[in-house]
Amino acid sequence: MPISKLLSEIPDSYFGKTMGRKVEHGPLPLINMAVGIPDGETPKVIVDEFINAIQKTENQKYGAFHGKDAFKQAIVDFYKRHYDVTLDKEEEVCILFGTKNGLVELPLCVVEPDDYVLLPNPGYTDYLAGVLLARAKPYSLELTSENHYLPIWDNVEDEIIDKTKLIYLTYPNNPTGSVASKQFFDDTINRFKNSQTNIVHDFAYSAFGFDKKNPSILQSEGAKDTAIEVYSLSKGYNMSGYRVGFAVGNKEMIAALKKYQTHTHAGMFGALQDASTVALNECDDFLIKQNEIFKNRRNKFEASLREANLPFEPMKGGIFLWLQTPPKYDGEAFVEYLLKEQSILVAPGIPFGDNGKDYVRISLALSDSALSEGASRLQELAHLYK
Co-location of 113 and 208 in the same domain? yes
341: Cβ–Cβ under 8 A, 6 or more apart, which residues? 26, 381
| Domain tally, the chain | 2
Co-location of 317 and 230 in the same domain? no
Judge whether 134 lies within some domain.
yes
302: Cβ–Cβ under 8 A, 6 or more apart, which residues? 312, 314, 315, 321
Judge whether 325 lies within some domain.
yes
Co-location of 32 and 115 in the same domain? no
The CATH number of whichever domain residue 315 belongs to comes to 3.90.1150.10
Residue 123 to residues 118, 143, 202, 354, Cα–Cα distance (Å): 11, 9, 10, 10
Residue 68, φ and ψ in degrees, nearest 5:
-70, 145
- The amino acid at 216: S
Residue 355 to residues 26, 33, 78, 142, 159, Cα–Cα distance (Å): 29, 21, 35, 8, 23
Give the pLDDT of the chain (386 residues) as one tens digit per residue.
588 888 888 888 776 555 556 778 888 999 999 988 888 999 999 999 999 999 999 999 888 778 899 999 999 999 999 999 999 999 999 999 989 999 999 999 999 999 999 999 999 989 999 999 999 999 999 999 999 999 999 999 999 999 999 999 999 999 999 999 999 999 999 999 889 999 999 999 999 999 999 999 999 999 999 999 999 999 999 999 999 999 999 999 999 999 999 988 888 899 999 999 999 999 999 999 999 999 999 999 999 999 999 999 999 999 999 999 999 999 999 999 999 999 999 999 999 999 999 999 999 999 999 999 999 999 999 999 98
Co-location of 373 and 304 in the same domain? yes
Judge whether 343 lies within some domain.
yes
Domain end, chosen from 251, 283, 315, is at 283
Residue 21: the pLDDT is 67
Co-location of 54 and 198 in the same domain? yes
Co-location of 249 and 300 in the same domain? no
Domain end, chosen from 267, 283, 299, is at 283
The CATH number of whichever domain residue 276 belongs to comes to 3.40.640.10
| Rounded distance between C-alpha atoms, residue 1 and residue 292, angstroms | 49
Co-location of 144 and 290 in the same domain? no
Residue 38: the pLDDT is 84
> Three-state secondary structure along the chain?
CCCCHHHHCCCCCHHHHHCCCCCCCCCCCCEECCCCCCCCCCCHHHHHHHHHHHCCHHHHCCCCCCCCHHHHHHHHHHHHHHHCCCCCCCCCEEEECCHHHHHHHHHHHHCCCCCEEEEEECCCCCHHHHHHHCCCEEEEEECCHHHCCCCCHHHCCHHHHHHEEEEEEECCCCCCCCCCCHHHHHHHHHHHCCCCCEEEEECCCCCCECCCCCCCHHHCCCHHHCEEEEEECCCCCCCHHHCCEEEEECHHHHHHHHHHHHHHCCCCCHHHHHHHHHHHHHCHHHHHHHHHHHHHHHHHHHHHHHHCCCCECCCCECCEEEEECCCCCCHHHHHHHHHHHHCEECEECHHHCHHHCCEEEEECCCCHHHHHHHHHHHHCCHHHHC
Judge whether 226 lies within some domain.
yes
Co-location of 237 and 339 in the same domain? no
Q: Which domain holds residue 245?
A: 44-283
| Rounded distance between C-alpha atoms, residue 157 and residue 162, angstroms | 9
278: Cβ–Cβ under 8 A, 6 or more apart, which residues? 45, 46, 49
Co-location of 57 and 191 in the same domain? yes
Co-location of 161 and 126 in the same domain? yes
Q: At what angle do helices 251-264 and 99-110 cross, to 10 degrees?
A: 110
Judge whether 386 lies within some domain.
no
Residue 12 CB-half CA count within 13 A = 6
Co-location of 34 and 125 in the same domain? no
Domain end, chosen from 283, 311, 342, is at 283
Co-location of 279 and 289 in the same domain? no
